[in-house]
Amino acid sequence: MTPRPPAGSTSPAVPRVVPESDGSRQSSQESLRPPPPRWTDSALPPYAFLPGRTPHPYRSREGHSWGRPPPAAETLEPERWREDHAWLLGVDLWNAGYFWEAHELWESAWKARDRKGRQAVFLQAMIKAAAAEVKIRSGAWGAARALWTRAAAALEPFGGDPFSRFMGLDVRAFCIAAEGRFLGPAVDLPVVTSGDVFLRLG
């Protein structure tokens, strides 16, 4: 599907299986907030995979992606991020709470770039950030903090300029908000400008 920029209204809530105790610090009110506007038209899975609690998407016959090939990704330049379906679908998955699925999709994009270059470094850091969210939902806060610390170190060169963007993301604002999410009280990433990629935290 062709990625599309967000419209003015948010997407309807996506039905998914959520474990009763996910280890996060979300309040019930926060968990009911609608996700940011969608970037793609791709259907989202019926549940978010959580290791040990829901069927593995590819290995289990009950998995939401059983029998399907692993996600594929193109190798577009960072400046063409609005055309990068793998990146933008990963953003949609993240914002809807599918962190493992976002991790898998971004990992395929990272591998497609032979794990080399500036863009691969950025994607690997986002993979670690998504993995950290999975750990939070498993109640493994220590592992989540360790993963985020490594992701933050990799993202540091991308966020030096307060007005810089990489693949549409305000990296500096994301890191500031994520620091609170993983190392302190959960906070939301502020909306920077219309058209920028937005990743919800908390």
CA–CA distance, 165 with 198 (Å, rounded to integer)? 11
Looking at residue 202, what is its pLDDT? 61
For residue 159, being part of any structural domain is answered with yes
For residue 11, being part of any structural domain is answered with no
For residue 98, being part of any structural domain is answered with yes
Nearest CA to 139 out of 57, 50, 49 is that of: 50
Q: For the chain, how many structural domains are there in total?
A: 1
What's 11's DSSP letter? P
Could you read off the pLDDT of 118-153 as tens digits, one per residue? 999 999 999 999 999 999 988 899 999 999 999 999
For residue 66, being part of any structural domain is answered with no
Global pTM? Answer: 0.75
Could you read off the pLDDT of 72-101 as tens digits, one per residue? 777 888 999 999 999 999 999 999 899 999
For residue 109, being part of any structural domain is answered with yes
For residue 172, being part of any structural domain is answered with yes
Could you read off the pLDDT of 152-188 as tens digits, one per residue? 999 999 876 666 789 999 888 888 888 888 886 544 4
Q: Which domain holds residue 120?
A: 85-202
Q: How many CB atoms lie within 10 A of CB 116?
A: 9
Nearest CA to 174 out of 149, 200, 194 is that of: 200
Q: Domain of 195: which CATH number? A: 1.10.3450.10
147 close to 131: Cβ distance less than 8 angstroms:
yes
Alpha-carbon distances, residue 55 vs 44, 46, 62 (angstroms): 16, 11, 6
For residue 67, being part of any structural domain is answered with no
11-15, 30-34, 54-58, 102-106: segment of lowest average pLDDT: 11-15
Looking at residue 93, what is its pLDDT? 92
